[in-house]
Amino acid sequence: MLRSPRLTIISLLIFTMGISLSLSRVKSDSSKVKSVDAYWAESGLGPAALEDLLQDNICGSSERYFLACASSILNIANRFNMTLTTEGKLVPVDVNMSADMSSEKMQLESWKQFFNNNTAAAMKLSFLNVWKLLKTKYISEKQESMMVGLGLNGFISVFRDPHTYLIPVAMFKEVVSKADNQTTSLGITLGRANGQYVVRKVMEGSPAKLQGVEKGDVLVEINGQKVRGLMQGRVSELLKGDVGATSVISVLRNGEKKKFKMVRVEITVATVSTRVIDGIKPIGVIGINKFAKGVCEKTKEAIGMVKKADVRGLLLDLRDNPGGQMEEAACVASLFVGADKKIFELRYLDPGKKSEQYYGGEEKIFDRPVAVLMNAGSASAAEIVAGALRDLNRAVLVGERTFGKGSFQEGELWTQNKQIALFETKGFYYLPSGRSPQMKGLSPDVAVNFDKIAVGREEDQFMNPLRAPERQVKALAASISTKDCLEMEDAHFSEDIQLTKARQVLFCTKTVGKTVAGVN
């Protein structure tokens, strides 16, 4: 039976530098379309909490405080296409710069050098005065709570850890924990290549897909704003908009500039998708894009559907799945291994707390070959499912090394404002093998890279990434070779090389048998 700690465990990958969700506008229970700014405004968060942290005597007291204060201000300034110099001046972002400044780590490297090489000058810089200038000159009254939240999360990311964060309670209830979301996103997922933002994925049925945006397009401008040099959270904000609004993006494709004009419509993004690919050996493909409440039940239904089609194997697509509720993840894994198999273990940072073992609690309902598709955007709960299925000899992993988030957070009302929840890192997840995916991620059994379009992982993005303590565990098996497997040429899969390879592996008798897939 699945044991739950006193508070819901959420492993959704939320970039604390701006709470960068994949949503833009969402419907609340009252069906009113709301923005992220509106959720923060409703919380009534005022500037006092941020200003207490930005006091000159605090920011100059140590390197870590200094970098946390710098992160706070940079996080806010970037929302206005500004950055901060080490002289304490706000200047426009240099969109022609060659350096990649999309992450917290990249932004803060020069500040770290400044503090270490010019400590006396660094201690004289007043981040509090810069905040007051931002508040007076750039931030409207409606934006103030949101900007304070951004600043607080930027500070916490460096001073505490990258996965402890604040979020409005209403936003958590109406957006993060929902099973299905209404979004007005343009429908593109971005990665990084050569210091530029590149389209990794285009959502089916989205405005971007309908207008012809393609994987590999280099994003140049959003509504006339150049994106090079902007942090990831700012680019995410620029991609957002209201229903009916027109957005124009410019991309480079094979050196040619293309412009796409798109009208935003509301799209419901289902958490679970299902399809069957016919052939001599039909297969089922079940995609899970977030482990939200109810996902296990939906996955059970999806497995029932593909079983009726008499599929010979299953591809579980967890690519770009940022995580979600661990209870749902454990439940999904148990559908493939049974109720009596341990899916993961929680080990607390507090040495006085005992570790907890989690079982999915569901009977095994699918016993044919399984391959899990994963990439650098697969994180947290998605990594637990993929890692547990491999450790329990039930699936082979195909794709890229995953993101590497193996920490867990527990939420409670913030003592300074009961309309805001504080999710604090309390410990780490460990797979059945005893390994944690924290920072390292999961390496695939069959590597199929995503055309060199990168997603910043834990160690790439954050100034102070978390490392999980590990006991000595047995070495993992060597990567699987597919050289003796049957090459699969199929027009259905020609545009998705990862899925093509996964299908090939699924029916390779040398890789999918008792050892890897748990098939008798």
CA dihedral (212, 187, 498, 403) in degrees, to 10, reads 140
Residue-wise pLDDT for 374-416, tens only, equals: 998 899 999 999 999 999 999 999 999 999 999 988 899 999 9
Give the separation between CA 504 and CA 507, rounded to whole angstroms.
Answer: 6
Provide DSSP, 399-429: ES------EEEEEEEETTEEEEEEEEEEEEE
User: Start-end ranges of CATH 3.90.226.10 in the chain?
Assistant: 269-342+364-405+437-506
Topology given in CATH for the domain delimited by 185-265: Pdz3 Domain (2.30.42)
| Residue 124 Cα to chain centre, angstroms | 37
Residue-wise pLDDT for 416-427, tens only, equals: 999 999 999 999
Q: Where are the alpha helices (DSSP H) in 118-196?
A: 119-124, 127-137, 144-159, 169-171
CB 384 within 8 A of CB 316: no
SS3 readout for 221-258:
EECCEECCCCCHHHHHHHCCCCCCCEEEEEEEECCEEE
Give the separation between CA 167 and CA 149, rounded to whole angstroms.
Answer: 8
| The pLDDT of residue 148 | 97
Backbone angles phi and psi of 352, in degrees to 5: -80, -10
Question: Which CATH number is associated with domain 269-342+364-405+437-506?
Answer: 3.90.226.10
Give the separation between CA 504 and CA 488, rounded to whole angstroms.
Answer: 6
∠ Cα 229 231 234 (to 5°): 115
Give whole-number Cα distances, 57 to 63, 282, 383, in Å.
12, 66, 41
Give the separation between CA 402 and CA 379, rounded to whole angstroms.
Answer: 6
| The pLDDT of residue 16 | 33
Give the separation between CA 240 and CA 183, rounded to whole angstroms.
Answer: 9
| The pLDDT of residue 183 | 60
∠ Cα 63 66 72 (to 5°): 140
Cβ atoms < 10 Å from Cβ of 22? 18
221 burial via Cβ count (<10 Å: 0-12, 13-18, 19+):
middle
* 444 CB-near residues (< 8 Å, 6+ apart): 374, 397, 398, 399, 400, 401, 479
User: Start-end ranges of CATH 2.30.42.10 in the chain?
Assistant: 185-265
Terminal-residue alpha carbon distance, the chain: 26
Give whole-number Cα distances, 325 to 362, 367, 431, in Å.
16, 25, 16
| The pLDDT of residue 196 | 86
Give whole-number Cα distances, 254 to 205, 217, 495, in Å.
24, 8, 17
Give the separation between CA 414 and CA 423, rounded to whole angstroms.
Answer: 9
Ranges of the chain with pLDDT below 70: 1-33, 95-99, 176-184, 450-452, 454, 471-495, 509-520
Give the separation between CA 334 and CA 365, rounded to whole angstroms.
Answer: 9
pTM listed for this prediction: 0.79
Cβ atoms < 10 Å from Cβ of 393? 17
| The pLDDT of residue 177 | 60
